[in-house]
Amino acid sequence: MSILQFLTTVHFGHGMRSALPRLLAQSRVQRPLFVTDKGVVKAGVFRQAIEAMADVNAAIVFDETPVNPTEAAAAAGAALYRSTGCDGVVGVGGGAALDLAKAVAVLATHAPPLWNYCNRHASPAPIDQAPPVILLPTTAGTGSEVGRSAVIVFDNGIKAGVRCPDLVSAAICDPELTLGLPPLITAATGMDALSHCIETYCSPAVNPPADAISLDGMQRIFSSIERAVANGLDKQARWDMMMGSLEGAISFQKGMGAVHALAHPLGAHGFHHGTLNAILLPHVLARNWSALGEKAVHIARCAGWPAGTHPCSALLQLNARLGIPARLRDIGVAEDLLAPVAAQALEDNAHKTNPRPMAQADYLALLQAAF
């Protein structure tokens, strides 16, 4: 049996962003550093997220979040934190901004390099004195607000996690912050969340509570993602998508699988994580299908697939309806990248919990099928 951990206090619901000043006060944070990205700021979503603050214009903002958060960006954010006398971190944005906010909090009070705290390090240093962190997701994708790690591209080129399950003081999940999300971003982040629910459920680790949670998230996303893409103002669809995203990340403790073992090294080259997961998921699920037993039946039921439906075909068709690129080549992945990524997948922690054993040749075959 796995160790069961459900740690983060989540304030969930339409309009819950109004709780931010109260939660900052409870955490004794008077001068927060806000970590976000320029797109969220330009769209007006950042201002919407912090509108309950007494003086929005006085906010100290680090908005240099890359598409995939990096160790260098975390160091820059931590330097701003220290130079401006901040005493807490608030992450506002998609998974990249939220993961970067966690990494900034670590480096704000712990000596660099960030790699010393990575779960791939031979002997990770403890994280024991980080400032309070509050996270507000503006997409329904990674579930980073309740995830146990911050996934970062380190200076050495490896994309991996900084394990920090106790770091986040509170999360505010307000589906209204996603109402203006463009259709393609809604689709890509939504498929990211779906891949989390599916991969955690398929993991052979024994954790019935997490299985139940991932199944609920899976069903919500399958039933809501096309509605959310077609009509971003559908508040119930947005609520279900954000809940499904959260549920997928709560279940991370079961481990992931081949989708993430491949997406992490590919993401280190700058490709969007959710889009990678969406493209890879049909091929990985098809390979794992025969090893899933009754789990395959439950996945098909959540998806609403008729008996005999091929999972790869069904997910490829879903991607097409959502407007997601069909192949890795369509997003700029070069063919000569496939072989080294297949080798790197064996080193990723997600490789350990794929429901079928995977060799380097198996990973390469999956990449070629998705290419």
Q: What pTM did the predictor assign?
A: 0.94
What are the structure tokens assigned to 152, written together?
């970062």
Q: For residue 241, how many other CB atoms are within 10 A of its CB? A: 31
What pLDDT, on a 0 to 100 scale, did the predictor assign at position 4? 61
CATH classification for the domain delimited by 10-178, as one of 3.90.190.20, 3.40.190.10, 3.40.50.460, 3.40.50.1970 = 3.40.50.1970
pLDDT tens digit sequence for 68-91: 999 999 999 999 999 999 999 999
pLDDT tens digit sequence for 281-314: 999 999 999 999 999 999 999 999 999 999 999 9
pLDDT tens digit sequence for 199-209: 999 999 999 99
Top CATH class of 183-370 equals mainly alpha
Beta pairing class for 149-153 and 159-163: antiparallel
Q: 155 to each of 47, 195, 260, 338, how far by Cα in Å?
A: 31, 27, 20, 21
Question: What mean pLDDT do residues 221-225 have?
Answer: 98
Alpha-carbon distance of 216 to 237, in angstroms, equals 14
Instruction: Write out the H or E segment, with its range, that includes residue 193.
Output: helix 183-202
User: What stretches of the chain adopt beta strand conformation (E)?
Assistant: 10-12, 32-35, 60-62, 88-93, 133-137, 149-153, 159-163, 168-173
Alpha-carbon distance of 67 to 50, in angstroms, equals 22
Question: Among 6-15, 32-41, 220-229, whose mean pLDDT is lowest?
Answer: 6-15
Q: Where in the chain is the domain with CATH 3.40.50.1970?
A: 10-178
What are the structure tokens assigned to 15, written together?
């309009």
Euclidean distance between the first and the last CA atom of the chain, given in angstroms as a whole number: 37
State which amino acid sits at residue 16. Answer: M
Res. 165 pLDDT band, cuts 50 70 90: confident
Alpha-carbon distance of 113 to 211, in angstroms, equals 36
What pLDDT, on a 0 to 100 scale, did the predictor assign at position 116? 96
Query: Is pLDDT above 70 for 3?
Result: no
Helix axis angle, 311-322 relative to 294-303, nearest 10°?
30
Alpha-carbon distance of 267 to 348, in angstroms, equals 12
Alpha-carbon distance of 140 to 134, in angstroms, equals 17
Question: What mean pLDDT do residues 125-148 have?
Answer: 95
The torsion angle over the Cα atoms of residues 255, 190, 120 and 283, rounded to 10 degrees, is 70
Q: Torsions phi, psi of 118, nearest 5?
A: -75, 145
What are the structure tokens assigned to 299, written together?
């996945």
Q: Where in the chain is the domain with CATH 1.20.1090.10?
A: 183-370
pLDDT tens digit sequence for 96-133: 999 999 999 999 999 999 999 999 999 999 999 999 99
Determine what percent of the chain is predicted with pLDDT higher than 70: 98
Question: What mean pLDDT do residues 338-352 have?
Answer: 97
Alpha-carbon distance of 338 to 333, in angstroms, equals 8
Write the CB contacts of 214 (distance below 8 Å, at least 6 apart in sequence): 196, 197, 198, 200, 201, 247, 248, 251, 254
The torsion angle over the Cα atoms of residues 203, 209, 213 and 216, rounded to 10 degrees, is 100
What are the structure tokens assigned to 365, written together?
């075959």
Write the CB contacts of 155 (distance below 8 Å, at least 6 apart in sequence): 70, 71, 72, 113, 114, 115
On average, the pLDDT of the chain sits at 96
Query: Is pLDDT above 80 for 252?
Result: yes
Question: Among 18-22, 234-238, 250-254, whose mean pLDDT is lowest?
Answer: 250-254
| Cis peptide bond prior to 208, omega within 30° of 0 | no
Instruction: State the burial class of residue 66 (Cβ atoms within 10 Å of its Cβ: 0-12, 13-18, 19+).
Output: middle
